[in-house]
Amino acid sequence: MRRIKEVIVVEGRYDKNTLSQVVDATVVTLGGFSVFNDREKLAFLRRLAEARGLIVLTDSDGAGFVIRNYLKGALPKEQVKQAYIPDIQGKERRKRHGGKEGKLGVEGMRPDVLLEVLRRAGATFLDEAEAQAPEKIPITKADLFDLGLTGGQDSAARRRALLKRLELPEHLTVNGMLEALNLLYDLETLRREMETIP
């Protein structure tokens, strides 16, 4: 069981149950859309973010992104990390029917996938003494433009192709994609990935 310093924020109790079997961390549930009207929970999340840092881990469907984007606007950006699960078609075992978009949520992810998405998000694993990686130069919006991912005729299609290739959720905005790319890649790696996209 891997110990993580940050508090992990998930949509519901089934997500929390799944995560609690994978990591030793404080996991807070949002109660889905009810967080929009819960000032106390938001104040609590702000305090946790200040004290320990937060990792937001929502489903990769449209509803998960509505919640994620709300939290992005409500919480201090420098204290919050974003963890993205891949788009995987299927339904959770406990459900009779899959979600509207037919994608697995956090509760349906395998433990190794959850550990990887937390690692990619920059989670602080307390039980390993990893050497700090050297500071990397961030990917910018100008880089996205140069790579044909924004501002061009085929930009949207190229973004969709890249997101699919990198196993990132299709609902990412340009800013969300930029944030995810900076968590996962450096500019040279991104350029190499773009060479494989027509």
How far is C-alpha 119 from the chain's CA centre? 11
Rounded average pLDDT over 1-23: 94
Query: Quick one: average pLDDT of 29-42?
Result: 90
Q: What is the pLDDT of residue 83?
A: 97
Tokens representing 117 are 């998405």
The percentage of residues in the chain with a pLDDT greater than 90, rounded to a whole number, is 57
pLDDT in tens, 89-143: 887 777 777 677 878 989 999 999 999 999 999 999 987 644 455 566 889 999 9
Tell whether the model's pLDDT for residue 147 goes beyond 80.
Answer: yes
pLDDT tens per residue across span 162-194: 988 887 778 888 988 898 788 778 899 899 989
CA distance 3 to 24: 5
29, 35 Cβ separation under 8 angstroms: no
Write the CA distances from 101 to 69, 104, 122, 155, integer angstroms: 19, 9, 28, 24
Q: Which CATH architecture has domain 2-121?
A: 3-Layer(aba) Sandwich (3.40)
- Please identify which residue in the block is written with the tokens 């880089």: 143
Helix residue spans in the chain (DSSP H): 13-20, 39-51, 62-74, 111-121, 141-146, 155-165, 174-184, 187-195
**CA distances in angstroms from 96 to 12, 18, 90, 93, 99, listed in the order given:** 18, 18, 12, 8, 10
Which of 79-83, 86-90, 117-121 shows the lowest per-residue confidence on average (mean pLDDT)? 86-90
Which ranges in the chain are annotated with CATH 3.40.1360.10?
2-121
Which pLDDT value is given to residue 120?
94
Q: Are 30 and 67 in contact (CB under 8 A)?
A: yes
Residue with the larger pLDDT of the pair 23 and 92: 23
User: What per-residue confidence (pLDDT) applies to 161?
Assistant: 92
Q: What integer pLDDT is reported at residue 129 of this predicted model?
A: 46
